[in-house]
Amino acid sequence: MTRPTRTPCVVDRASRATLAPLAAWLIAPASLLLLAAPAVAQDKPVLDKPTVTVTETSVLKYRFDNRNGDTGTNRIDDHYGEWLNRLNIQGTSGRFTAAFRLDSALYFLKPNPNTLASEDLDKALSQPPLPGEVRDAAWQRDFKNNRTTQYGQLLSERYLNAIYPSKFNLTYQSRGLEATVGDYYVQLGRGMVLAVRKVDELASDTTLRGGKIVYAPDVGKRYKLNVTAVGGAANPIRVDEVTGRLLSQSVSGIAENLAYPLMPKPNATDYVTNPQPLFAPDTILGGQVEGGFKEMQIGVRAVQVNRTDAPFHSQASAGAPDRNAREITVGSVSVNVPDLFGHGSFYAELATQQMSDFIPDANSTLMNRLSGGYAAYAQATAFSGPFTLSLEGKHYERFFPLHGNVNAGKATEFSTVQYSVPPTGDPFTSDWHWGSYNVCVTGGRGRLDARLTDDLMVYGSVGHAVSYSERNANCGQDVKLRSDGSVLPAVERTAADQNRIWDPFAGIELTFEQGRSHFYASSGVHFDTTAEPIAYTGDATTKVYYRDNWQRYSLLKKIHGPWSLEMTGWHRWRYMPTERLTPWREGENYIGAIWSPKLTVALGYEYSTKEGDLKHYVNGMAQWRFTTASLVRAYVGQNRPALRCISGVCRQFPAFEGARLEAVVTF
């Protein structure tokens, strides 16, 4: 018994863009009929009583001044309210399950461009005028008009009331077969080729809307076979809960309206008379076959992404070059050995990526150099007695994640939408993946766990990597010109783009009182050093790119009966000279009382010195659970701004100050 590990028909572009979403919808039903018919004929009908489950999630929030500044975009994220609602309905009858989710966002007491502009004018008039500045009536009128227009443009895509069907699907299941039409999550292999999923920690929820078939026939006890086919159009959430940004999409034609009914469209206002969409759908087609003996399976998978042309393609994307390609093909082959003689396991995957059909403004020379990337990833685990050794290794060369077709320059909140997540080899919450760190990188990690007793485990880990893309999204393949304007040949990368990373940490896990109490603690450091000195202020140079020294702890102590006390904390010393000249400290402490399983009450304190002076953030939370699936939660207070990362996908969260009431009811 193994131990579980932890850790071509030619079609013109216009026709293809119109037909792609509809084709994805047609593939699934046709395939379902072909595969489901024999399965239904062989199995007896299911006579289970039909059931319907309704889950209502409602969030009411009001935001005060979050203390992030009083200019530009920082003015519009204070003093407004919002009501976010998600209604989920799921019904099951026999082999069929249908699900539907309706999302809505309503805003009240929203920021007003005229009010904000008047406040800015009053503040400007309270300050001494600049030399030669005449603040007459014309100056004041122009100042207020300019500010009103600025705020009006910013608010044209935020805090807009919306209600739309965000997710819906119909699933058929029988012995060895599962077929879905509508929205679904999917991951092929370890996510190098395709990984479309929900990430609550990043307020991200992306599905494919189309069809999925998973066929796993009974081939005997010694053999395994699994076939997966997917096709659909990308469907991220349209309202960002954190910032109120609306991800608008132009929906035209029968095919797109079938795929995206009633989706939020660009919002025309007095300040933006010709609004442009912020999202255009990506059509994704792919499949996977995994099979072999019980002791070892081989997997083959491939995915093609076709992008729909959009107005925001008028400017090429430098931060994510893959957005400049209208077509991307990714394929991989893997080997999986789930049981190595009862003392371990092994997994390895090799992948390749091709980009083509670049948008007009993209640098085709550069894009051709970046295309043809590849990746190799391997993970091995061995255990004997009290020891478990885990090893991970990776070598990625111009292997880009499949970013969503989003106007990342304006909708920065949705720039993290992507359809693949190549493994990082780091703890999944690591937040030091700067830039395009994981695109051109070679590295590995080892971790050794030692279970000294049934209640005590200690562990240590060290990771090392060399990245050529952390500071250069083009992996050092930038196009350079001769004096006559001709293109220089591609050159080997130099140390100027190289970052060297070391990342050791260690920890302890202790349980006591028959497992009802525990104490976990860990500490580590992170060294990110450039191979050559870089400038960070004036003429000063350094090889220090980033430093981090951190400690985490979690203590859960049973007090009496159903009562227990929990304390958690995370404290860090951080330094990034290219961002801030001096180091800063930040952290958080939470203490909570738990009356299991009904009541949880918690108090939190967070702090940060990144902005210079020490800022304090205090909050409180109370939660009452009526049933295992229904609860009400109240939160009042503040949270510090923070960069949050999950498996190498990172997002900057602004500071929060306000009140939040959330209710989840299932019946």
In angstroms, the CA 651 to CA 655 distance is 13
Tell me, what's the pLDDT at 353? 97
C-alpha to C-alpha distance for 330 and 352, rounded to whole angstroms? 6
β-sheet bridge partners, residue 337: 346
For residue 478, with 0-12 CB atoms within 10 Å meaning exposed, 13-18 middle and 19 or more buried, which class applies?
Answer: middle
13-37 residue pLDDT tens: 434 443 344 334 434 333 433 333 3
The reported pLDDT for the residue numbered 48 is 67
Please name the residues in contact with 20: beta carbons below 8 A apart, sequence gap of 6 or more.
Answer: 233, 255, 283, 306, 308
Structure token pair of residue 147: 């500010």
Give the model's pLDDT for residue 239: 94
Q: How far is CA 431 from CA 325, 488, 626, 648, 650, in A?
A: 28, 37, 36, 7, 7
pLDDT for residue 36: 38
SS (H, E, C) 113-141: HHHHHHHHHHHHHCCCCCCCCCCCHHHHH
Question: What is the spatial distance between Cα 306 and Cα 233, in angstroms, rounded to a whole number?
Answer: 9
What per-residue confidence (pLDDT) applies to 114?
A: 94
How confident is the model at residue 253, as a pLDDT? Answer: 66
pLDDT in tens, 505-517: 999 999 999 999 9
424 phi and psi angles, rounded to 5 deg: -95, -25
Name residues of the chain where pLDDT drops below 50: 1-47
Q: How far is CA 420 from CA 15, 288, 416, in A?
A: 27, 15, 11
pLDDT at 89: 97
Integer Cα distance of 644 and 113 in angstroms = 31
Please work out, in degrees rounded to the nearest 5, the angle formed at the alpha carbon of residue 244 by the alpha carbons of 238 and 249.
30
CA 491 to chain centre: 34
Lookup result for tokens 């690591």: 430
Say what angle helices 137-155 and 113-125 make with each other, to 10 degrees.
140
- Please enumerate in sequence order all residues whose Cβ is within 8 A of that of 410, keeping only pairs 6 or more positions apart, or say none: 157, 278, 312
Q: Are 397 and 474 contacting, i.e. CB atoms less than 8 angstroms apart?
A: no
SS3 35: helix
Q: Tokens standing for 35?
A: 């595969």
Question: What is d(CA 9, CA 484) in angstroms, rounded to the nearest whole number?
Answer: 42
Nearest residue to 532 via CA among 443, 445, 444, 472: 472
Pairing of strands 223-235, 615-627: unpaired
Kindly provide the residue ranges of all beta strands, DSSP E only, lying in 338-419, ordered along the sequence. 344-358, 373-384, 387-397
As given in the structure block, the two tokens for residue 334 are 């893997």
In the prediction, which pLDDT does 371 show?
Answer: 94
Measured from the Cβ of residue 392, the count of other Cβ atoms closer than 10 Å reads 21
Q: Is 538 helix (H, G, I), strand (E, B) or coil?
A: coil
Report helix, strand or coil for 357.
strand
Report the distance separating Cα 70 and Cα 65, nearest Å.
9
Distance CA 518, CA 566 (A): 9
Full DSSP string of 598-666 = TEEEEEEEEEE-TTSS-EEEEEEEEEEEEETTEEEEEEEEEE--EEEEETTEEEEEPPEEEEEEEEEEE
Name the β-bridge partners of 229.
Answer: 213, 287
597 preceded by a cis bond (ω within 30 of 0): yes
Taking a C-beta distance cutoff of 8 angstroms, is the pair 344, 377 a contact?
no
